[in-house]
Amino acid sequence: KAGVTQTPRYLIKTRGQQVTLSCSPISGHRSVSWYQQTPGQGLQFLFEYFSETQRNKGNFPGRFSGRQFSNSRSEMNVSTLELGDSALYLCASSLPPRPEQYFGPGTRLTVT
Amino acid sequence: AQTVTQSQPEMSVQEAETVTLSCTYDTSENNYYLFWYKQPPSRQMILVIRQEAYKQQNATENRFSVNFQKAAKSFSLKISDSQLGDTAMYFCAFMTSAGVTGTASKLTFGTGTRLQVTL
């Protein structure tokens, strides 16, 4: 099976712009979770989607949003980018009730 | 809220030797899952091993094994016969069992241990 894919892999944006990141889960996986990884804050949970519904959300401002489509692909959007949003954004898919999450290669976002 | 602590920021081991990475966690839950993930320089997070809290038997995956001490809330990873390809950041992670059934599938990570395998 193909693994989790994320596009784009690298992105450079300017402060104030918005960005959309995409994640395609492993075939058959219906749950997609997003995490932000930074040197200062480590790995932090953003949100999780299952069957097109957001089931859980981390402690991030409303500028961070996401959605999931009927084919389980997910997108996350960050509006009004700030310098502190520069990070590696990781997507993970899983097949509940199995707990294992499988990660994609990540999208490296740089905000200038 | 659950917390995961990895007290060893960096470790080094010689090829073919054995190394143990430490992890402690804090939770009031009785049923949960623990994981070790590996993140090599490529930044791809790779699942190494998982442990169910209700299982007393320690999980093993080839050269990787865990020492799970539920009462002490300790979950260490032992890597035997270390290889150069084991060089990576290793993250310990926690998930409540409620997350498995669908109410909240969320991993809480520790800060990681950077492992360097040398010749």
State the pLDDT confidence band at A96, using cuts at 50, 70 and 90: confident
Closest CA to A34 of A66, A2, A70, A63: A66
* Strand A10-13 with A107-111, pairing: parallel
B118: pLDDT strictly greater than 90: yes
Is A18:A79 a contact under the CB 8 Å cutoff?
A: yes
Task: Name the minimum distance, in Å, from the CA of B100 to any CA of chain A.
Answer: 5
The confidence score (pLDDT) of residue B104 equals 55
State the pLDDT confidence band at B96, using cuts at 50, 70 and 90: confident
**Which tokens hold the place of B48?**
């190494």
Give the Cβ contact number of residue A16 at 10 Å. Answer: 10
Nearest-by-CA chain B residue for A41: B111
Q: Which of A4-13, A53-62, A81-90 has the lowest mean pLDDT?
A: A53-62
- C-alpha distances (whole Å) from B89 to each of A34, B46, B114 are 19, 10, 4
Look at A96 and B95 and tell me if their CB atoms are within 8 Å. no
Mutate to test the interface with B, among A6, A10, A101 (most CBs of B within 10 A): A101
The beta-strand segments (E) located in A1-112 are: 5-7, 10-13, 19-24, 31-38, 42-50, 53-57, 64-68, 74-78, 87-94, 102-103, 107-111
Q: pLDDT of B40-91, one tens digit each?
A: 999 999 999 999 999 889 999 999 999 999 999 999 999 999 999 999 999 9
Q: Which residues of B touch A107 (CB under 8 A)?
A: none
Task: Work out the burial of residue B23: count CB atoms within 10 Å of its CB; fewer than 13 is exposed, 13-18 middle, 19 or more buried.
Answer: buried
H-helix or E-strand spanning residue B101: helix B97-101
The confidence score (pLDDT) of residue B97 equals 74
The confidence score (pLDDT) of residue A2 equals 85
The confidence score (pLDDT) of residue A1 equals 72
Closest CA to B105 of A66, A21, A34: A34
CA distance B4 to B29: 14
